[in-house]
Structure 1
Amino acid sequence: MKFYLAKISKVFGHNRNSFNEELDKIFESINSRTYEDILIIKEKQMFSAKSQDITQAQKCGFASGVGISSSDVSLKASSSGDFSETVQSGEEIKEKFSEILLQFFDPKSILTQIKNLLSKIGIKYVFICLDDFSEIDKDAMEIFVDTIIAPLNNWSDGYFRFKIAAYPSRIYFGDIDPSKIDQIKLDYYDLYLSNHVRDIEQEATLNISRLLTSRFNYFLDKDPASFFDLSKNDISDYYKVLFDTTSNVPRNVGWILWYANQSSVSKGSLITLKDLELAAEKYYTDSLEVFFSQNKYMKESFDEKLEKYHLNELLNQIIKMSKKNKTEIPSLNSKVFESEKSRPVTSHFYVKKEMEKLLNTLELNFFITKYNEQKDKDGKLIVFFFLNYGLCKKEDINFGRGTDRKYIVQRRFDYSDAIKECIDAAKKIRCNACGSSYSMDKLNILELYHMLCPECRKGVCEIIHVEVELPTVKQEIQLMEFDLKLLNALRIDEPQFASLLAQDLDCHYQKVTKRAQFLETEHSLLMRKKETLYREYGERTYYYLTDKARNIYFSKFAPQSIEAD
């Protein structure tokens, strides 16, 4: 941080020396050892000698003699015990107090000094951008918010402002008041609905047009239309298919065009609608489907693997229902289906509003996309989704929602019961005290009461997964999820150097370099070559997959690979 603040000072002329002096004073105060009375966390545990139940609470007290480490700015903790005992009604109750001692620095004071210094040179706000915040573990997220983000946000009076990218429902606010921050949803349905757009799909398609026009003009100095075959189709047809295949996600747009380029522009021909459709299927099988197919190779807990297994079963149930509708619709006499009988479109479906959260993870990983919600005939809210376009191509499901506006609201596209049945077979809600079980459709009600068991009114209800026998592999070939993504990125496009891989994996190139070295030296899954493949990049260290990696992890993509050791 000191390095970047010092760089700022270069633009302020004669004030630079005084700026540097004040900056040095701030960091000298951080490194100096000081002693203050600080708040100490005490954990109280109640032990019942009769029932063996344990109840935890917290008490707070004050202690002194805690200082700052002079070597680094960090939080450190140690603990000690303090005990007391009481007896009530013949039952022995023991209270155990655990004291957590913290070595700390005072961030409020430091922030105030930095704020005052920056204000003197005309800086009105400091923006801190955090990308992919939801990727970190829940425990790490809570610690980071409680110790860094919340203090910065709450103590600086809006001077330090955060811009945080996170997935819906995967962010922890801590002491931050959600009502006092702007939450901008980027999923196209929520984004355009919040702006009172009537035709959400049309607006999202126009956004594809604006996105491609600006990017093509900037990077290629050409109009997008010059890359598409317009002999049979208008450019608007291509934008519509791009919307269908990508759900308006810019990263997905880039991937679809990259795959389409491999079979068209790179071979001297223009992109056709067929190229986009095949690209969608290729992107699905290469990058999305591996979320499930590579599950057995993930170095994860059994519960995490089990959750993915049941999630895959849920997706398969939705696919099964869509295929069933495709088979049955041609034999129906309803006028609503009349124009669709020759080619029934069955990619779209709906569920009851209270079941929406059960599909969040599938939507998060682009297997399905929410596109609308409305009231049914009974006045109850229903939510509409569609299956991934590439998945539909792979499973031979016709994509679309019918020419008749009443088509998609027919009862056969209500998958609520089928999804509920699948979820109930995979998950249960159970009280950790009395053992009472509840179906998953009671989750919303239980959450209103903080998961308190309605039967015993003492225990807390927890979601448990029904255990099944999962396919297993040897522990020595199990890898972290990031490592598998790195290997898969090379399988899709090989060779690549660290910076290019970092763009694909949305991380810093140093992380790629570190993990690539591990995969090479510890597992012999990668090999490096220093070479000049492209003039514009010069000499670089390129990474290649080994035959061992292809055979173990990607045998279905490369069946000709030899057996791994």
Structure 2
Amino acid sequence: MYSQEQREGFIRVYETLKLYKRITPKKLNGEESIDKQNIIKDLYVDLLPNKGIIRKLLSDETFILLGRRGTGKSTLFARAQYDIITQRKNLSAYVNAKSVVDDMKFQNNSLNIPDLEGVLESEQLGRLLLIKKFLNDLFESIVVELKREEQNLFEKITSRFRDNRIDSLIKRIEDKIENPDILNINSIVSKQTRETETTNKTKSAEAGATGSTSANGVKDALVKIYAKAGYKKEIASGLENESLNIFAKLFNVGDIISDIKQLLDITSRDKLYIFIDDFSELTEGDMELFYQTLLNPIYNSARDEIVLKIAAYPGRITYGELEAGKYDSIQIDAFELYGQNIVEIERKSSDFIRRLIKNRISFYCKTTPDTFFDTSEHSMEEYYLLLFEASMNIPRTLGHILSQCYDNVVSYDKKITKSDILNAVEMVYRKITKTYFDKEHKSQGVYKEKLDVYTQHNLIEALCEMALELKVELPKTNNQHFSKLEYAHSSHFQIRAELVSFLESLEFNGLVHKVSTIAPKSTKNKKANIDVFIYAFDYGLCQFNKILYGRPERTSRYSKYYQQRRFDLSETLINTLSSNKKIVCKNADCGAQYDINELPMIEQFDMMCRKCYQKTCEVDYDESITELVKENLKKAQFTKEELDILQVLEMYVVTSTNFKAYPLEIGQELDISYQLVSRIARGLIDSELVIRKEDKTNNNRPYYEITEKGKKTLSTILEI
């Protein structure tokens, strides 16, 4: 039924939608050379009409791009860089913050500053090495683009004098990055000393300012930054004045910025656009260090020449000295992007899914979507809406759904039906979304983080249990929306605005999704017209738990279906959290306790107790949870990253394609570097859970396969 081109093309459709990390022409089945960059342009589909997102990314303003994993932030950056490269007016550079962090875990790096290595602890040295690695990656990206320009579409630099100036400048910048200058910070350390010591001591300090003094200044400044970011174990001592530019001086950032401006002038470019991806993968303390060392100096002294574009997760980013009103931002999750109204979200999102699928199938399969979808009972518009609800406009999730459809339907020369999509959605939930809890519960990790994961698990189970109860009970009521139903659709629920922060983790991990806001009806003794949020359970979760998704019909009769008061699960949320954890003042003379729903307010005042006014409040968890976490941590044999790799390898086994699990492809699937994959895999190989092979048909390229022992180990951990 399908031609070879159509089968292979469909594989490319879902594989490119699933792509994690950096999108390149090579990953999209092209080549890396500049003349093959058009594939990025050809496959790009903007979330807004008239290239609305790309226009914002190409503006001259600092820009923050917010979105959950898989929403396409890296693709947007790649598309913006394509325009910069082809228009020949500016330069661009790309740095992935997560890759920088991953690479730091196994590379042997050095600051080349012996004075610091004798003063700083290994953890503090690691943080400064993080900055050095970031600078290296940033400048390497600039050099790669310059070389690509010379060799391909851009004007060739014919003047030998100009060539020499560029080469000299590049070497100068590289030397400054490779050899930080601790003597640069003497003046800052001396100034701080003057502000904290007596006049006599000041004179002595100024007379004896040495590399050792500067090293101690670096250490104290690091302590201050991380204490500010909430790292209470590193208590600030000795410095009353924060040294906001001590690290910029250490790494010669001011000089490097001046050199970059000179480079722009020599190459006749107006601006340098710096794209920083996965910024939220940094810790809060590392974000603060990045701002003080790099981003603030760029923003404050070079914003006319250097434009920052940062991609991060909603709610997981700090903003340094970026001033409100002087930077732009946009959140690309459907709820935030399309107006917070469920009707508009469904209309605009299904249109995006339509454009996205038509584009990919046309490009790779040279046909139209109805070639693969059975339209005898459902139109393509109905399929697009269903695929939106199933993926929530997240291209990566859509790719996984279409992958299941290929394995179970297309590979057998059949057309995809609604039933096939629903089966695929449930399979994706069982194999990917649901296993989040299994892997967290049974892997090694940080005790307090594990406690919160158990609380989140209990919460989603309580909400599902209530949804199943409503499914049966609502048809027994006299409410006209339910009375004629055999079972009620109960996939959507309401949560009061002040409680939404407690669902952020579940939403981030794809278990629930915001889909609308409403002003609830006035109730006795309650204030009316306070917005509440409507959430939807993940479609796959609903399929797995037999919860009916959506509303009975898309007609005016059920237009206010989700606004019915019985769908308000705010009390369920409060009761579940209250039974799992509470806030306790640890002041021995106080001991006050507060309900967990007061946490957002108490956090605003740095965990201050309202009774004793000491900042000694902490979250205490139910004893049953703490004991369970302790027991599981004792039994845990693997890290979460090891379980992630085993899970990906198992997925390669069950797929109907013959793809091999190369380290690069595994890294793309897990959003980590291929070097980190290789390092983790060594331990799995030693445990006989994985074997390493070489692909004789591909220059002996190494790849991995899961062993039978690995499969059994994984099956005992994950309930799939």
Question: Smaller-chain TM-score range?
Answer: 0.7 to 0.9
* Aligned-pair CA distance for 1:149: 2.9
Is 1:406–2:553 an aligned residue pair?
A: no
Aligned residues with identical type, % of pairs? 27
Name the structure 1 match of 2:652. Answer: 493
> Which position in structure 2 is the counterpart of 1:368?
512
* Range with greater deviation from structure 2 (309-318 or 156-165): 156-165
Residue 436 (1) aligns with residue 592 (2): yes
**Contact 2:493-2:535 at 8 Å conserved across structures:** yes
1:486 Cα deviation from its structure 2 partner: 1.4
**What CA distance in whole angstroms lies between the structure 2 residues aligned with 1:489 and 1:288?**
13
Q: How does 1:455-534 map to 2 (within 5 A)?
A: 455-467=611-623, 468=625, 469-470=627-628, 472-473=631-632, 478-494=637-653, 495-521=660-686, 523-531=687-695
Which residue matches 2:544?
394
The equivalent of 1:71 in structure 2 is: none
Distance in 1 separating the partners of 2:216 and 2:407: 51
- 1:444-502 CA-to-partner distances (Å, cap 9, x unmatched) read 43344444322122334333433422163575853332222111111122351122212
CA distance in 1, matches of 2:567, 2:190: 54
Match of 2:534 in 1: 384
1:155 to 2:268 alignment: no
Task: Give 1:373's aligned amino acid.
Answer: T
Report the alpha carbon displacement of residue 172 of structure 1 after superposing the two structures with TM.
1.9
Q: Any idea what SS the aligned residue of 2:448 has? A: helix
2:183 is equivalent to residue 35 of structure 1: yes
Matches within 5 A, 1:115-514: 115-193=261-339, 199-339=344-484, 341-377=485-521, 378-403=528-553, 404-433=558-587, 434-467=590-623, 468=625, 469-470=627-628, 472-473=631-632, 478-494=637-653, 495-514=660-679
State the alpha-carbon separation in 2 of the partners of residues 338 and 131 from structure 1.
51
Rate the CA distance shift 1:25–1:309 in 2: closer, same or farther, 3 A: closer
Paired position in structure 2 for 1:54: none
State the alpha-carbon separation in 2 of the partners of residues 425 and 398 from structure 1. Answer: 28
1:13 alignment partner, SS class: coil
TM-score by length of structure 1 reads 0.84
Q: For the residues of structure 2 that align with 1:359 and 1:285, how far apart are their CA atoms?
A: 21
Residues 148-188 of structure 1 show CA distances to partners (whole Å, capped at 9, x for unaligned) of: 33333333224332322211111122333354222210110
User: In the alignment, residue 115 of structure 1 is paired with which amino acid?
Assistant: K
**Secondary structure of the equivalent of 1:456?**
coil
Distance in 1 between residues matched to 2:316 and 2:196, nearest whole Å = 30
Residue by residue, what CA displacement relative to the aligned partner does 1:493-513 show, whole Å, maximum 9, x if unpaired? 235112221221123322222
Higher relative contact order (CA 8 A, sep 6+): 2
Greater mean alpha carbon deviation, residues 215-224 or residues 444-453: 444-453
| 1:327 CA drift (Å) | 1.2
d(CA) in 2 for partners of 1:489, 1:526: 12
Q: Distance in 2 between matches of 1:481 and 1:557?
A: 12
Q: Distance in 2 between matches of 1:115 and 1:128?
A: 13
Identify which range, 490-499 or 442-451, moves more after superposition.
Answer: 442-451
Letter in 2 for 1:325: L
State the shift of 1:20 in Å. 1.2
**2:339 aligned counterpart, secondary structure:** helix
- After superposition, the C-alpha distances for 1:27-80 in whole angstroms (9 at most, x for unaligned) are 456648573433239999xxxxxxxxxxxxx96998674559xxxxx9994579
Cα distance per residue 1:305-352 (max 9 Å; x no partner): 11111100000010011000011123222212134x124211000011
- For 2:191 and 2:690, the matched residues in 1 are separated by 49
Q: Is the 8 A contact 2:578 2:596 kept in 1?
A: yes
Amino acid at match of 2:678: T
**Displacement after TM superposition at 1:529 (Å):** 1.6
Instruction: Provide the C-alpha distance between the structure 1 equivalents of 2:459 and 2:549, rounded to a whole number of angstroms.
Output: 20
- The amino acid across from 1:541 in the alignment is P
What's the secondary structure of 2:320's corresponding residue?
A: coil
Q: Does the 8 Å CA contact 1:41/1:59 hold for their aligned counterparts?
A: no
In 2 relative to 1, CA 236–26 (structure 1 residues): closer, same or farther, beyond 3 Å? Answer: closer
Cα distance in 1, alignment partners of residues 632 and 343 from structure 2: 51
Q: Secondary structure at the match of 1:542?
A: strand
Cα 1:478–1:334 shift into 2, 3 Å = same
Q: Distance in 2 between matches of 1:250 and 1:478?
A: 33
Displacement of 1:116 after TM fit? 2.0
Counterpart CA distance in 2 for 1:526 and 1:59 is 58
Q: 1:221 Cα deviation (Å)?
A: 2.2
* Alignment-mate amino acid for residue 422 of structure 1: T
Task: Look up the equivalent residue of 2:628 and give its one-letter code.
Answer: L
- Deviation (angstroms), 1:405: 2.1
Give me the whole-angstrom Cα distance separating, in 2, the residues matched to 1:398 and 1:454. Answer: 44
Provide the secondary structure at the position in 1 that maps to 2:295: helix
Other structure's SS at 2:547 match: coil
Distance 1:418 1:126, change over 3 A: same
Which piece of structure 1 moves more, 299-308 or 121-130? Answer: 121-130
| Structure 2: distance between partners of 1:175 and 1:459 | 26
Q: CA deviation at 1:274?
A: 0.9
Task: Identify if the C-alpha distance between structure 1 residues 116 and 197 changes in structure 2 by more than 3 Å, giving closer, same or farther.
Answer: farther
Per-residue deviation, residues 93-148 of structure 1 (Å, max 9, x unmatched): xx973799989233112211222222231222222223222233333333333333
Mean Cα displacement is larger for which, 343-352 or 179-188?
179-188
Task: Give the whole-Å Cα distance in 2 for the aligned partners of 1:150 and 1:32.
Answer: 19
AA matched with 2:520: D
Structure 2: which 5+ residue stretches go unaligned? 1-135, 151-155, 222-235, 522-527, 654-659
Q: Does 1:23 align with 2:170?
A: yes
In structure 2, distance between residues paired with 1:159 and 1:418: 53
Give the paired residue count. 521
Q: CA RMSD in A?
A: 3.3
Aligned-partner Cα distance in 1 for 2:357–2:692: 35
Contact 2:438 2:718 in 1 (8 A): no
Q: Aligned partner of 1:459: which letter?
A: K
Q: Do the aligned partners of 1:75 and 1:104 also contact (CA within 8 Å) in 2?
A: no
Residue 26 of structure 1, CA deviation: 4.1
Render the CA deviation track for 1:508-551: whole Å, top value 9, x for unaligned: 32222222223213x3321012235xx7x675322111223222
**1:97 aligns to what?**
238
Distance 1:371 1:158 in 2: 39
Query: Aligned partners of 2:283 and 2:538: how far apart in 1?
Result: 27
Cα 1:379–1:23 shift into 2, 3 Å: same
Question: Which residue does the alignment assign to 2:15?
Answer: none
CA distance in 1, matches of 2:584, 2:486: 48
Contact 1:431/1:453, CA 8 A, preserved across alignment: yes
Partner of 1:55: none
**CA deviation vs aligned residue, 1:391-433 (integer Å, no higher than 9, x gap):** 1111111111344123222221100011101111222223343
Moved more, 365-374 or 485-494: 485-494
Bigger shift: residues 227-236 or 464-473 = 464-473
Query: Do the aligned partners of 1:351 and 1:414 also contact (CA within 8 Å) in 2?
Result: yes
Structure that is richer in helix per residue: 2
